[in-house]
Amino acid sequence: MKVYGTSVSGNCYKVKLLLHVLKKPYEWIEINIRNGETKTQEFLVKNPVGKVPVLELDSGEFLSESNAILYFLANGTSFFPNELLIQSRILQWMFFEQYSHEPYIAVNRSLIRLQNKKDDPRISANLPKGLDALRIMDDHLAKNGFFGSEEPSIADISLFAYTHVAEEGHFPLNDFPNIISWIKRVKEIPDFIPIY
């Protein structure tokens, strides 16, 4: 199994983190987004959307979209329990992550930390929406240990990736004490590996 990814990307880190905690062997192929390596003809065959991460199976087939890859890898493990309503709630949080969380929290981190565009007007526009996402997560965690399930699931892996580095996008994590506690719990998952 091969993973085409960019180490600094939270979406790619999700896949790496899950593979580690599941103790699944894989080959990591570093892709440089900045010099257009996801837009080459060779790469677009793997993923026509031109994005990392991409999973290459031993059969040579490709799978993209970080959260779909998590689904594929976690099936049959404790990270995606076998009850339909729990599975659906895990996916509910993962769609929340891609629609209501990543476009604000990951994008501001990228603009500030990776692209050095500290004056980009998108940063202030994204701030209230990112804070909304963190508030919704914090409220959920006031009554629950994890997202979607009573045990860590791929919803936690997915949401952890950009949340735990949200301060790099100038989101004040200390205003969300339940998130701080949850971050500690995720880091205690056996075989956890940090993003850096």
In the bound state with a second copy, the residue whose beta carbon lies nearer, of 102 and 156, is 102
CA distance 32 to 12: 12
Q: Which of 77, 98, 114, 180 binds a second copy (CB under 8 A)?
A: 98
- Residues 129-147 as b/e (b if ≥16 CB within 10 A, e otherwise) read ebbebbeebbebbeeeebb
Q: Which is nearer to a second copy, 53 or 152 (CB)?
A: 53
Instruction: Candidates 96, 146, 171, 182: give the one binding a second copy (CB under 8 A).
Output: 96
Tell me the residue length of the chain. 196
Residues from 57 through 76 that contact a second copy (CB under 8 A)? 57, 61, 63-69, 71-72, 75
What is the rounded distance in angstroms from the CA atom of residue 25 to the CA atom of residue 1? 7
Segment contacting a second copy (CB under 8 A): 21-29, 79-87, 160-168, 182-190?
79-87
Is 139 a binding residue for a second copy by CB under 8 A? The answer is yes
Enumerate residues 18-57 that contact a second copy by CB under 8 A.
48-49, 57
Question: Judging by beta carbons within 10 Å of its beta carbon (0-12, 13-18, 19+), is residue 39 exposed, middle or buried?
Answer: exposed
To the nearest whole angstrom, how small is the minimum distance from the Cβ of residue 5 to a second copy? 16
Task: Name the residue among 15, 30, 28 with its Cα closest to residue 73.
Answer: 15
d(CA 194, CA 196): 5
Q: Which residues of this chain interact with a second copy, rule CB under 8 A?
A: 48-49, 57, 61, 63-69, 71-72, 75, 84-85, 87-89, 91-92, 94-96, 98-100, 102-103, 136, 139-140
